[in-house]
Amino acid sequence: MTTAVPHLTGNYAPVTEELTAHDLAVTGQIPPELTGWYLRNGPNPHEAASRHWFAGDGMVHGVRIENGCAVSYRNRWVRTSTFTDGTRSYSETGERNLAAGVANTHVIRHAGRTLALVETSYPYELTCELDTVGPYDFDGKLHTAMTAHPKTCPVTGELHFFGYEVIGEPFLTYHRADADGNLLLSRPIDVPAATMQHDFNLTAEHVVFMDLPVVFDLATVAAGDGMPFRWSDSYQARLGVLRRDDPFGEVRWFPIDPCYVFHSLNAYDEPGKIVLYVMRYAELWRADSHGFDKSTLWRWTIDLTAGTVTEEQLDDRNAEFPRVDDRLVGLDARFGHASVAGDSGALVRYDLHTGSQASHEFGPGRIPGEAAFAPADQNPGGHGYLMTYVYNAETDRSDLTILNADDVAAAPVATIHLPQRVPFGFHGSWLADK
């Protein structure tokens, strides 16, 4: 009897067709001020079963919205060299191929390019119709992989990101590109071992790296099961602070309690301090990499004078995929939101100034993914909407749900009914027309 593989069953299972559908049915009214694409990326194995949820081929699902109408839905695999030719990240002789990867984690826009991201390779550029253009290496200047969580500074338009490596130093490199997409800076960061650095933090004045005790493990690689990382009781958990105005200067390291963080909500500067909001796991992948412990919202306050970090838990809900209005990344955003785990899904909106919370409960069998913030006007932090794909277990289909961010508990503003389900995935963006 064959045992079902959790990351290949239910709504984790891949969809097998690339569809294009027009004039989608809508319940409610799509806000007329929204014109653009909602795109979301995620793993969708196209031939063989993947060894882990994180390892499937990337597929981007997109809905086009114009003038209050849901114009179209389309889903397309990202045709990386791994997808088309089976190219591997490392050859048998250990040679690195940075164009090989699954591009399955995020999809963003920078300097007019739409990029599908995964942390183990170059980005892949997509057209507006989600066709694959090819790998993008910043005109030959990028020589590491690129995180799936770059940060765009809302003041300068710069794209800040990093790449980590597991075989050979430097294990971590910090990069900065200008608003036009020119890669201006690449600087190695000295860390003692190869760790899984999925996300980082950006403020107006600082970059903050999270060097945490989930460490590259050769025994796991040899076993060929799951992700090649394991929890380490001996590796120091710490935060590394680099001044943006001195990008080749000292990185100051601040010890914290052992933990792991996949995703940061936001970070900002206070006089003499840096405040970070993160979704914190007490530990991750001690025995294997196929499960996930509970993650909750925490605030870390780095005191740059005292050299200490104050750590505070702000919520006890098991939540992930945190986001803010992207126009406030690195600034003191009052509101953030995250998706709550469970068979009765919810989105929670955090008031980070008052500590209050509000949530939208989708009900039994309706599970939301990450929600992107779609602005309704030109005022950062102003009125807007939360957009997320919601899986309906009863119908085995998915909807694109639009909520009023100022009143998340209310009924959806609009529900766009899709022609198929969207498998559980990772991250996406609302890409408004300019």
| 4: confidence class by pLDDT, cuts 50, 70, 90 | low
Give residue 1's pLDDT: 35
- Range with the poorest average pLDDT among 88-92, 96-100, 208-212, 423-427: 88-92
Stretch 90-95: mean pLDDT: 74
Stretch 68-82: mean pLDDT: 97
Tens digits of per-residue pLDDT, 10-62?
Answer: 999 999 999 999 999 999 999 999 999 999 999 999 987 888 888 899 999 99
d(Cα 152, Cα 144) in Å, to the nearest integer? 19
Cα dist from 99 to 110, 141, 179, 188, 404, whole Å? 19, 14, 23, 21, 39
- The residue assigned the tokens 């996930």 is 292
Phi, psi at residue 54, to the nearest 5°?
-75, -10
| 378: confidence class by pLDDT, cuts 50, 70, 90 | very high
Arithmetic mean of pLDDT over the chain: 95
d(Cα 84, Cα 100) in Å, to the nearest integer? 10
User: Is the confidence at residue 434, as pLDDT, over 80?
Assistant: no
Question: How are beta strands 69-77 and 58-66 bridged, if at all?
Answer: antiparallel
Tens digits of per-residue pLDDT, 274-301?
Answer: 999 999 999 999 988 888 889 999 999 9
Tens digits of per-residue pLDDT, 50-67?
Answer: 888 888 999 999 999 999
Give residue 95's pLDDT: 82
**Encoding tokens for residue 48?**
């063989």
- The residue assigned the tokens 């910090």 is 174
Among 315, 426, 338, CA closest to 386: 338
Tens digits of per-residue pLDDT, 203-223?
Answer: 999 999 999 999 999 888 888
In the chain, the percentage of residues whose pLDDT exceeds 70 is 99
User: Is the confidence at residue 2, as pLDDT, over 80?
Assistant: no
